[in-house]
Amino acid sequence: MTDSARTPFLAGNWKMNLDRKSGLDLACQLRDRIGSRTDVEVAVFPPAVYIDELSRALSGSPIRVGGQDCCEETSGAFTGEVSAPMLVDSGAEIVIIGHSERRHVYGETDEKVAQKVRQALDAGLDVILCVGELLAEREAGQTEEVVRRQLTAGLEPVSEAEMARLVVAYEPVWAIGT
């Protein structure tokens, strides 16, 4: 049996925080601190409006820039949405899908998450698939059931070969701060 240990992965989701200047300052500080390290994989997920500029600022560094979400459709009349191809066009390499806020604040279903995973992979993006239970689900002893359901649905459209392009992030909703 060979050692298939994965390189540690550190991702920072900026959510709806930081303006252009403070985001660029933070990214440049991070780039300077990371240098050319290869013992950890690092990605930042700024608001979509800053992806292009940050991907240019971080070009040549090992830091990846990603989108915080993508639409389950490639194009169309979906006001305010950002498609996976648009993320790629703006310089993103990776996208977060199934984040607890998307699931619980915006009502995204497991089916929609699976559609987004497929769109992202088809566009050439790597994926961070988020799974996790609510406090009430944990207290009811449903953690494994909830996570299994989310994983089964989210991974359904992913081929074995594509699994190398996907990271699963367990984020129990009850443990997330603001």
**Catalytic: which of 72, 99, 108, 133?**
99
Interval 86-115: pLDDT, tens: 999 999 999 999 999 999 999 999 999 999
Tell me which of 41, 73, 101, 171 is the catalytic residue: 171
- The pLDDT-based confidence of 175 (bands split at 50, 70, 90) is confident
The percent of residues above 90 in pLDDT, for the chain, comes to 90
- Decide if 171 is catalytic: yes
> What is the spatial distance between Cα 76 and Cα 155, in angstroms, rounded to a whole number?
25
Nearest Cα neighbor of 65 from 102, 106, 100, 24 is 24
In this predicted structure, what is the pLDDT of residue 38? 87
For 123-168, how does the pLDDT look when each residue is reduced to its tens digit (9 = 90+)? 999 999 999 999 999 999 999 999 999 999 999 999 999 999 999 9
Provide the pLDDT confidence category of residue 2 given band limits of 50, 70 and 90: very low
Query: Is-catalytic flag, 104?
Result: no
CA-based max dimension of the chain: 51
pLDDT of residue 1: 38
Q: What is the DSSP letter of 126?
A: E
Nearest residue to 57 (alpha-carbon basis) of 84, 34, 26: 26
Task: Please state whether 94 falls in left (phi above 0), alpha (psi between -120 and 50) or beta.
Answer: beta
